């Protein structure tokens, strides 16, 4: 555990932390961060508790005088352009109330990214906040994964369908395809801890519980996302390893972990209720992907035509109104809903986050583990975004906040002491 004094030491030339901030304000920020992450899976209703808590957290950050690092300015500018494009596209929308609500959610998501980035970039206290976020996220993910798994196993008489819709676990989410990806960051965090810090029973139990929830979500996108993110996690850990001995240890443990996962998967699939659904969902192309008129790929082709004809965007829900279904591609969504300006800003935001994410992940700092796990997870989301709409996923914008925050802090960091995140 890094003490506050130790974490402050390497920031030579940045000045001492602001002593004028009252201790109660700092404690309030941490308490609200804890509550915000803890309730983030509770999205049965909208607006969800998460929305209210993020708004209060933002106000608490101003009270505690959490600084805005100048390195976060590109993030802020791109988010503003993205949302301005969305506001312009609203002018041609028929269902005004619903569309305005959609645009408001986009603004909220953007604001949450900036809030988290500021929290995780602040000198001397970002490590403690990142640790708090990690512990809370793992607890929240474990609880919601167990709820989803029990719902799938019909352990709640009369209420199981609430937690396992359409024969797939969704926990306290509305959609299994959002529930599954939500579980990937904590899975990678636990994997990192097991590989680098040793095996602990509580970590193994948490990992198995969350992994079960991911499996029972039967989300093809989440499975592929998890696989891609896990590969990048191992690659980043290998590259960032301080010496050959650590790399050899990582390689050996990774092989053992893959073998253990394969064995557990075979065991889980031996149950008919799981195995049959897995075989159905594991098919690369589903009927709704390649349908002649309303298949996913056909709709994406139509989306390209529409965005070329509407440089200012169609606005929220207009593509669904025209064709009856969503095109399920976040990058096409960015152009359709936010116009060419907003779409280009969104693409630039994703690419910039990828670039600075690698910079943060490969810089040796006390918070490097958080940068590595966030970057590996973010890469998976970026790829999954080609087949699903992620522009309103809460944890997606949390990932951006972690990456930008750890990047800003890393650029100020000067090695001078030995730390362990």
Number of domains in the chain: 1
The answer to whether residue 215 sits within a structural domain is yes
Residue of higher predicted confidence among 325 and 165? 165
Task: Give the single-character DSSP code of 199.
Answer: -
The answer to whether residue 418 sits within a structural domain is no
The answer to whether residue 417 sits within a structural domain is no
pLDDT at 300 over 90: no
Confidence of residue 20 (pLDDT cuts 50, 70, 90): very low
Model pLDDT for residues 113-150, shown as the tens digit of each residue? 999 999 999 877 889 999 999 999 999 999 999 999 99
Q: Quote the tokens at residue 248.
A: 């050899």
Model pLDDT for residues 236-253, shown as the tens digit of each residue? 999 999 888 888 888 888
Q: Which stretch, 221-230, 281-290, 322-331, has highest mean pLDDT?
A: 221-230
**Does the global pTM surpass 0.85?**
yes
Confidence of residue 293 (pLDDT cuts 50, 70, 90): low
Model pLDDT for residues 97-118, shown as the tens digit of each residue? 888 888 899 999 999 999 999 9
Model pLDDT for residues 358-403, shown as the tens digit of each residue? 999 999 999 999 999 999 999 999 999 998 999 889 999 999 999 9
CB-based contacts of 58-62 (< 8 A; 24+ apart in sequence)? 58/111, 58/115, 60/25, 60/28, 60/29, 60/32, 61/29, 61/115, 61/118, 61/119
pLDDT at 349 over 90: yes
% the chain with pLDDT above 70: 88
Residue of higher predicted confidence among 78 and 19? 78
Nearest CA to 76 out of 111, 120, 126 is that of: 111
Q: Quote the tokens at residue 368.
A: 């490097």
Q: What is the pLDDT of residue 110?
A: 96
Alpha-carbon Rg for the chain, nearest whole angstrom, is 22
Model pLDDT for residues 56-96, shown as the tens digit of each residue? 999 999 999 999 999 999 999 999 999 999 999 888 775 67
The answer to whether residue 421 sits within a structural domain is no
Nearest CA to 210 out of 241, 234, 183 is that of: 183
The answer to whether residue 419 sits within a structural domain is no
Structural domain of 232? 4-11+20-412
Q: Quote the tokens at residue 231.
A: 């590969």
Q: Quote the tokens at residue 309.
A: 């004809």
């Amino acid at each position: 555990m890094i003490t506050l004094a130790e974490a402050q030491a390497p920031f030579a030339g940045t000045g001492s932390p602001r002593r004028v901030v009252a201790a109660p304000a700092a404690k309030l920020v941490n308490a609200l961060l804890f509550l915000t992450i803890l309730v983030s899976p509770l999205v049965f209703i909208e607006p969800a508790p998460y929305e209210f808590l993020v708004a209060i957290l933002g106000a608490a950050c101003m009270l505690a005088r959490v600084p805005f690092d100048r390195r976060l300015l590109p993030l802020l500018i791109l988010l503003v352009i993205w949302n301005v494009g969305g506001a312009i596209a609203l002018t041609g929308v028929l269902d005004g109330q619903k569309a305005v609500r959609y645009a408001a959610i986009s603004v909220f998501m953007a604001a949450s990214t900036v809030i988290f980035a500021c929290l995780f970039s602040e000198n001397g206290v970002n490590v403690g906040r990142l640790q708090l976020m990690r512990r809370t996220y793992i607890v929240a993910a474990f609880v919601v994964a167990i709820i989803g798994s029990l719902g799938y196993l019909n352990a709640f008489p009369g209420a199981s369908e609430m937690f396992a819709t359409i024969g797939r676990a969704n926990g306290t989410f509305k959609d299994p395809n959002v529930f599954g990806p939500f579980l990937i960051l904590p899975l990678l965090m636990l994997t990192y801890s097991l590989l680098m810090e040793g095996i602990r029973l509580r970590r193994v139990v948490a990992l198995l519980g969350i992994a079960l929830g991911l499996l029972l979500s039967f989300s093809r996108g989440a499975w592929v996302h998890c696989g891609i993110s896990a590969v990048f996690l191992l690659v980043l850990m290998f590259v960032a390893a301080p010496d050959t001995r650590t790399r050899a240890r990582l390689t050996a443990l990774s092989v053992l972990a893959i073998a253990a996962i394969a064995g557990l998967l075979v065991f889980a699939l031996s149950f008919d209720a799981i195995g049959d659904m897995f075989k159905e969902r594991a098919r690369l192309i589903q009927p709704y992907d390649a349908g002649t008129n309303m298949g996913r790929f056909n709709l994406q082709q139509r989306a390209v035509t529409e965005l070329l004809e509407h440089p200012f965007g169609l606005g929220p829900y207009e593509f669904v109104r025209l064709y009856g279904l969503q095109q399920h591609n976040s990058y096409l969504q960015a152009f359709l809903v936010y116009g060419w300006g907003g779409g280009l800003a969104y693409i630039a935001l994703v690419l910039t986050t990828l670039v600075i994410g690698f910079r943060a992940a490969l810089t040796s700092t006390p918070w490097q583990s958080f940068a590595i796990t966030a970057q590996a997870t973010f890469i998976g989301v970026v790829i999954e975004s080609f087949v699903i709409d992620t522009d309103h996923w809460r944890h997606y914008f949390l990932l951006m906040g972690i990456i930008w925050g750890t990047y800003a802090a890393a650029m100020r960091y000067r090695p001078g002491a030995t730390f362990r995140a």
